[in-house]
Amino acid sequence: MESTPTPRAAPGPRRAAWLLALLVPAVALVAMGALAWRQFEAARQAQARSAAADRQRLEALEERIDALRRDVRAHAARIQQGEATHRLLREEVIGLGQRAALLEESVRRLANPELDAARALRLDEVELLLAQGQQRLLLSGDLEGARRAYALAARLLDGIPDPGWVDVRQALAQERAALDALGDDPRAAAAGRLDAVAAALPSLPREPAAAPAAASWWERAMGRLVEVRPSTGALAADPADRAAGLAALQLELTLAQGAIARGDREDLGAALGRIDAWLVRLWPASPARERQRGTLRALRDQPLAPELPTLGSTLEQLRRQRGPG
């Protein structure tokens, strides 16, 4: 009796099932990736919008800061302008007070007028004193002499009761105040500083400062055999050379004092340069020597004449008011 064979399953449906099982996870992964990408893009766009908003707020804040700075500068300029106006008004008020006082004094003296000849003579004396005071200050730097001459001129001018000379009195009072504010004579101050340098020279150290110890054994050994000195600016060690140098230095100090007395800044600068060269030649380097050299350098820039822009204004106004006659 023959056995019947069992039929085999078709391979097509089984392969389709495997393909379907692999395709479903792949589609799910693609969908999840697309969703994640969309969320990432949305977050990136939101971050970009936030950054743009922050940038706009920062720009607006910077604009407000610039506006505040402009307002502060404008307020500072207005404050400075107000202070300048206040100073100007105060000076005008002071000038008006002086003018009123002079007018009151002139009106009080009108009850006893002087003769025209005596007044002309007194005005000549006032003009002479003002010219002498100006020349004393410009030619010889005699500040005290100029002050005395201006004081005598003011005393003579006060004896003229004519109110027409009120402007001259006020100008003289202002010029005298400027003279009193000058302080000491610049030439006397410069001469005093130069005398102080000359007085300090004998106390300068004659020996150079001790050199620092050598760092290595061969430098210490060679230092005992060889002494190295600079070839330029060597000190005058010989007694005869030093005596001649001191005499030349004293001569230069005298020439510098003469230049100060004449008010000659060019000759003074040349003499101070030679004095500085002799200092380097006669004394070794030290802090005391450098201080004296610094004083000499400062003397070159020190003014030798008083700086008074209003000098001669009273004399000019007096001559203009008196006229050519």
- pLDDT score, position 232: 43
Long-range CB contact pairs, 307-311, < 8 A, 24+: 308/137, 308/178, 308/179, 308/182, 310/174, 310/175, 310/178, 311/134, 311/137, 311/138, 311/175, 311/178
For residues 134 and 303, what is the distance between their CA atoms, to the nearest angstrom? 18
DSSP line for 279-294: HHHHS---HHHHHHHH
- pLDDT score, position 231: 43
- pLDDT score, position 221: 58
Query: For 202, which DSSP code?
Result: G
Helix or strand run (H / E) with residue 53: helix 11-109
Sorted by sequence, the CB contacts under 8 Å of residue 249 that are 6+ apart come out as: 201, 275, 278, 279, 282
Cβ 114 vs Cβ 165: under 8 Å: no
- pLDDT score, position 318: 78
Helix or strand run (H / E) with residue 64: helix 11-109
Cβ 126 vs Cβ 156: under 8 Å: yes
Query: For 136, which DSSP code?
Result: I
For residues 63 and 266, what is the distance between their CA atoms, to the nearest angstrom? 57
- pLDDT score, position 106: 63
- pLDDT score, position 225: 54
| Amino acid identity, position 28 | A
- pLDDT score, position 107: 63
Virtual torsion, Cα 138, 141, 144, 148, nearest 10 deg: -20
Structure tokens of 322?
């008196």
- pLDDT score, position 8: 52
For residues 182 and 196, what is the distance between their CA atoms, to the nearest angstrom? 23
pLDDT tens, residue order, the chain (325 aa): 445 555 554 556 677 777 777 777 778 888 888 888 888 888 888 888 888 888 888 888 888 888 888 888 888 888 888 888 888 888 888 877 777 777 776 665 554 454 466 777 888 888 888 888 888 777 776 778 888 888 888 888 887 777 777 778 888 888 888 777 776 677 777 888 888 888 888 888 877 655 444 446 555 555 555 555 444 446 766 777 888 888 888 898 898 888 887 777 888 888 889 988 888 888 888 888 888 888 888 888 877 766 666 677 777 877 777 765 5
| Amino acid identity, position 321 | Q
For residues 226 and 229, what is the distance between their CA atoms, to the nearest angstrom? 10
Q: What totals of helices (H) and strands (E) does the chain contain, helices first? A: 10, 0
- pTM given for the model: 0.45
For residues 168 and 315, what is the distance between their CA atoms, to the nearest angstrom? 9
